[in-house]
Chain A
Amino acid sequence: AQSVSQHNHHVILSEAASLELGCNYSYGGTVNLFWYVQYPGQHLQLLLKYFSGDPLVKGIKGFEAEFIKSKFSFNLRKPSVQWSDTAEYFCAVNYYNAGNNRKLIWGLGTSLGVNP
């Protein structure tokens, strides 16, 4: 079965520190890639997505992610985090399976805490 791995389950940073959250997936074919964010007590919201083209994708709130096909990775980055970035971050991968059905699989999430 295909899988999405988020290596860091819990990350704690101080404000202004740089952030990189890892995401690796196992599917070797064409994929679409997403990062979603869930702020405390809120629902999931799209942070950024990659479909094709420039592998460096810029999202909302200063986040960006780089698709490296050779490494099956889509890591999320932010140069300088803020306290308001405290949230759960989910990586998701969309692909078509052997039956030509669209599949979306999720990582287990990374909990980010930012100390003021």
Chain B
Amino acid sequence: DAGVIQSPRHEVTEMGQEVTLRCKPISGHDYLFWYRQTMMRGLELLIYFNNNVPIDDSGMPEDRFSAKMPNASFSTLKIQPSEPRDSAVYFCASRHQGFPGNTIYFGEGSWLTVV
């Protein structure tokens, strides 16, 4: 089975540009998570969705960040405008509610560098 698929794998962009990260969760999973990983702060939960509905976005750092999940098989995380401090690895993850549904499966990450 295909795992969580993220794109792009790597992106280098200039400060001020819009960045869009994409995620396709595992088919049948009803929870989707966006995480950010940096050396300084470790792994941070940004937002998560249940059945395409945002449940908790308290981890979104500021208004420049937005996330959408228009359907069960696709989600985007957008940063506009991007800043150098947004440079990080962004992970998308998904999980199924049912037992043993507590296991979260991660994508390979999108490595973002803002210069």
Residue positions of A touching B, CB distance < 8 A:
32, 34, 36, 42-46, 49, 51, 90, 94, 101, 104, 106-109
Contacts and interface: CB of A to CB of B under 8 A. Distances in A.
B25 interface: no
Most buried by B among A34, A43, A106, A108: A43
A42 B93 CA distance: 14
B102 A94 contact: yes
B104 A101 contact: no
A43 B106 contact: yes
Contacts of B104: 34, 46, 104
Contact of B56 (A46, A101, A107): A101
A51 B100 CA distance: 9
Nearest to B42: A108
Given A101-B55, A108-B42, A109-B42, A45 B102 contact: no
Given A101-B55, A106-B42, A108-B42, A46 B91 contact: no
Interface string B90-113: 010100000010111111110000
Contact of A44 (B41, B56, B91, B100): B91
Contact of A49 (B43, B56, B103): B103
Task: Give the interface size class of chain B.
Answer: 10 to 19
A106 B109 CA distance: 17
Given A42-B108, A106-B42, A108-B42, A32 B56 contact: no
B1 to A, nearest CB: 15
A46 B43 contact: no
B88 interface: no
7 contacts: A34-B104, A36-B106, A44-B93, A49-B100, A49-B103, A104-B45, A104-B104
Nearest to B92: A43
Contacts of A108: 41-43
A45 B108 CA distance: 10
A105 to B, nearest CB: 8
A43 B103 CA distance: 15
Contacts of B108: 42-43
